[in-house]
Amino acid sequence: MCGICAIFGGPPEAHAEQVIQAMVAALCHRGPDTQSHRRAAGAVLGHARLSIIDLSGGDQPMADEIQRRWIVFNGEIYNYRELREELIRLGHRFRTQSDTEVILAAHGAWGAACLDRFRGMFAFAIWDQRERRLFAARDIFGEKPLYYARAADGALLLASEIKSIIASGRIDPRIDAAAVDDYLRLGYVPPDRTIYENIHTLPPGHYLEWGGTGAPRSSCYWEPVFDTRPIALDEAGERLRGLLGQAVRRQMVADVPVGAFLSGGHDSSTVVALMARQATQPVKTFAVGFGEWINELPYARAVADLYQTEHHEIDLGTPPVAELLERMAEVYDEPFMDPSHVPTFLISEYARRYVKVVLTGDGADELFGGYAWYPLFAASTQVSGSLLPWLVSRSVSRLLKDRVEGLARYSRAQSLTRRWADPWERYVCYRAGFNDERRAALWGGRGPMRSASPSDYYQPNARARGMDRVLHFDLMSFLPGDILVKVDRAAMAHGLETRAPFLDRDVVEFALSLPSALKVTPDQTKVLFKSALNRLWPEELRHRGKQGFAAPYQKWLGRRDVQALTRRVFRPGSALRELLPGIPLRMHEQRSYDVWSLLALGLWLERRQAHWLTRVA
User: For the ranges 152-161, 248-257, 348-357, 360-369, which has the lowest average pLDDT?
Assistant: 248-257
Question: What does the pLDDT average to over 34-58?
Answer: 86
pLDDT value at residue 582: 94
- Which is nearest to 314 in space by CA: 361, 350, 353? 350
pLDDT value at residue 212: 86
Long-range pairs, 237-242, Cβ under 8 A, ≥24: 237/528, 237/531, 237/532, 237/533, 238/532, 239/510, 240/507, 240/510, 240/528, 240/529, 240/532, 240/533, 241/532, 241/533
Catalytic residue among 2, 5, 114, 429: 2
Examine the pLDDT at 489 and tell me if it is beyond 50. Answer: yes
Domain with CATH 3.40.50.620 in the chain: 233-369+482-553
% of the chain residues with pLDDT over 70: 89
pLDDT tens, position by position, 312-359: 998 877 789 999 999 999 999 999 999 999 999 999 999 999 999 999
pLDDT-derived band of residue 394, with 50, 70 and 90 as boundaries? low
pLDDT-derived band of residue 256, with 50, 70 and 90 as boundaries? confident
pLDDT tens, position by position, 186-238: 999 999 999 999 999 999 999 999 998 889 999 999 999 998 999 999 999 99
Question: What does the pLDDT average to over 361-387?
Answer: 85
Domain with CATH 3.60.20.10 in the chain: 2-220
* Phi and psi angles of residue 243, each rounded to the nearest 5 degrees, phi first: -70, -40
Counting Cα atoms < 13 Å in the Cβ hemisphere of 256 gives: 18
Give me the numbers of helices (H) and strands (E) for the chain, helices first please: 25, 17
For 233-369+482-553, give the CATH class: alpha beta
pLDDT-derived band of residue 403, with 50, 70 and 90 as boundaries? low
Question: What does the pLDDT average to over 38-44?
Answer: 94
pLDDT value at residue 397: 45
pLDDT value at residue 614: 45
Residue type, 499: R
Question: What does the pLDDT average to over 501-528?
Answer: 96
pLDDT tens, position by position, 290-322: 766 666 788 999 999 999 999 999 887 778 999
Contact residues for 346 (Cβ-Cβ < 8 A; gap 6+): 288, 314, 316, 319, 324
DSSP code per residue over 246-282: HHHHHHT--SS-EEEE--SSHHHHHHHHHHHHH-SSP
% of the chain residues with pLDDT over 90: 71
Question: What does the pLDDT average to over 508-527?
Answer: 96
Residues across the chain: 617
* 429 is a catalytic site residue: no
Question: Residues 293, 270: contact at Cβ < 8 Å?
Answer: no
Contact residues for 242 (Cβ-Cβ < 8 A; gap 6+): none
Examine the pLDDT at 427 and tell me if it is beyond 50. Answer: yes
For 2-220, give the CATH class: alpha beta
Question: What does the pLDDT average to over 427-446?
Answer: 88
Mean model confidence pLDDT for the chain: 89
Distance of CA 70 to the CA centre of its chain: 28
Helices 592-606 and 560-569 sit at what angle, rounded to 10 degrees? 70
